[in-house]
């Protein structure tokens, strides 16, 4: 019989791999949506809605998934969730109309709810002092976004975007089967609550849950939104090929995923407040600089006119995105350290609620990005919006923890 330590790390590894694949599927339309946009003649807003719709269903399902994980265990919930997404992924290659893609994306997006299954499932296998690191390692599955940017463009280059859903359906099915054979269930980890579903959902009105949801809507919602938007942004702003754009976009997505474990470690060592506070300030600076559009302006000086040109070249832009990706990775882990500390008996329900807020941010932001671009014609309005959201988080943190931050 396998030892407790072996089971613990088997659960961590199998769950992380599964979440990586689920996240890859969740972000599929970030790349596949580009040739679909051209094929259907979509506007920027329509493209944003198409790319973001899987994020909506994956977010809305997070609260019930977290509750079901508490009740039935993460192993069976994760396995069934992955299997249910396979038919929708495979069916995408046969879609021909906009509403076909929207419906399929909505069903396929349920895979994104895997986060609120894996978080409590993994956390309960580890002692409290290691939970931040464990959840951070699991959360590194966000790197599935970068994996999508490596795989999907290469498959499309073989001839057609329809190859991608074929391959991705096979990957998801194989991963689900492997997860079942390499994961474990412990009845002691089930939460036997007498509270009804309605009473558990009422927990979501708690001030702390709302506060952490706001932070997570920036560090995770912003990450998802940019992961969906950046490949197209690079193509339009810098005239790159899809392969080049996806590679540079991965410079944001990859650290935004794999370094989440670092955020878990730092949160365990220094506390969730200090880490999250630092993350928000880094994002504030990055988004402030990224907000500036390509600008020519003239100053009427004493000795004549002075002309200036503000422009972020592709190298500087990528460095700033890379830095923001690192900050978001650390912040995603530190916010869930707050949750594990404050709600140890309701990790499933609360992580589902916070994940829902982050996912809704990831759904709404790309649509707003597209609407702002259609309205203004300025691509950097996406970063102006994120800069404003980060300001709100900093103000919220300042007043919420005013009496605690020096402790």
Please report the pLDDT score of residue 30 as a whole number.
86
How would you label 119-156 residue by residue, b for 16+ Cβ within 10 Å and e otherwise?
A: bbbbbbbbeeeebbbbbbbbbbbbbbbbbbbbbbbebb
Confidence of residue 82 (pLDDT cuts 50, 70, 90): very high
Alpha-carbon distance of 24 to 52, in angstroms, equals: 14
Please report the pLDDT score of residue 204 as a whole number.
63
Q: Cβ atoms within 10 A of the Cβ of 299, count?
A: 9
Confidence of residue 193 (pLDDT cuts 50, 70, 90): low
Task: Report the range of poorest mean pLDDT among 80-94, 96-110, 196-210.
Answer: 196-210
pLDDT tens column, 294-350: 777 788 877 777 777 778 888 999 999 999 989 998 888 888 777 777 777 666 667
pLDDT tens column, 225-237: 898 888 888 988 8
Please report the pLDDT score of residue 196 as a whole number.
55
Please report the pLDDT score of residue 349 as a whole number.
67
8 A C-beta contact, residue 119 and residue 354:
no
Across 12-145, the runs of DSSP E, i.e. the strands, are none
Assigned superfamily of 4-189+196-400: MFS general substrate transporter like domains (1.20.1250.20)
Q: Where are the domains of the chain?
A: 4-189+196-400
Instruction: Mention every residue, 6+ apart, whose C-beta is less than 8 A from residue 42.
Output: 36, 50, 98
CA angle 111, 114, 119 (to 5 degrees): 170
Asked if residue 403 has pLDDT above 60, the reply is no
8 A C-beta contact, residue 82 and residue 172:
yes
Please state the pTM of the whole predicted model: 0.79
Residue linked to tokens 């939460």 = 191
Alpha-carbon distance of 341 to 347, in angstroms, equals: 9
């Amino acid at each position: 019989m396998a030892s407790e330590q072996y089971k613990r790390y088997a659960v961590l590894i199998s769950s992380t791999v599964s979440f990586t694949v689920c996240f890859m599927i969740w972000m599929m339309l970030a790349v596949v949506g580009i040739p679909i946009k051209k094929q259907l003649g979509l506007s920027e807003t329509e493209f944003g809605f198409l790319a973001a719709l899987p994020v909506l269903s994956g977010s809305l399902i997070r609260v019930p998934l977290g509750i079901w994980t508490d009740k039935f265990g993460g192993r069976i919930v994760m396995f069934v969730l992955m299997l249910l997404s396979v038919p929708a992924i495979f069916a995408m290659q046969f879609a021909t109309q906009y509403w076909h893609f929207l419906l399929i994306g909505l069903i396929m997006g349920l895979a994104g709810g895997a986060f609120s299954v894996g978080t409590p499932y993994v956390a309960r296998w580890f002692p409290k002092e290691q939970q931040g690191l464990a959840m951070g390692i699991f959360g590194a599955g966000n790197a599935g976004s970068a994996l999508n940017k490596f795989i999907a463009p290469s498959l499309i280059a073989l001839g057609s975007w329809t190859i991608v859903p074929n391959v991705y359906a096979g990957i998801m099915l194989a991963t689900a089967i492997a997860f079942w054979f390499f994961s474990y269930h412990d009845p002691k980890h089930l939460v036997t609550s007498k509270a009804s579903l309605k009473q558990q959902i009422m927990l979501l009105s708690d001030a702390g849950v709302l506060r952490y949801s706001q932070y997570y809507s920036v560090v995770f919602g912003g990450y998802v939104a940019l992961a969906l938007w950046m490949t197209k942004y690079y193509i339009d702003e810098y005239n790159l090929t899809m392969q080049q754009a996806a590679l540079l976009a991965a410079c944001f997505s990859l650290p935004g995923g794999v370094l989440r474990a670092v955020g878990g470690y730092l949160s365990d060592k220094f506390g969730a407040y200090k880490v999250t506070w630092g993350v928000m300030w880094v994002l504030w600076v990055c988004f402030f600089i990224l907000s500036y559009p390509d600008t020519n302006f003239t100053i009427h000086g004493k000795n004549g006119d002075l002309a200036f040109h503000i422009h972020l070249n592709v190298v500087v832009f990528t460095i700033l995105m890379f830095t923001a990706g690192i900050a978001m990775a650390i912040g995603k882990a530190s916010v869930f350290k707050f949750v594990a500390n404050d709600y140890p008996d309701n990790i499933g329900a609360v992580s589902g609620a916070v994940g829902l807020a982050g996912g809704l941010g990831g759904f709404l932001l790309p649509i707003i990005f597209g609407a702002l671009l259609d309205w203004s014609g300025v691509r950097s309005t996406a970063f102006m919006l994120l800069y404003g959201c980060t300001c709100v988080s900093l103000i919220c943190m300042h007043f919420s923890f005013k009496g605690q931050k020096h402790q």
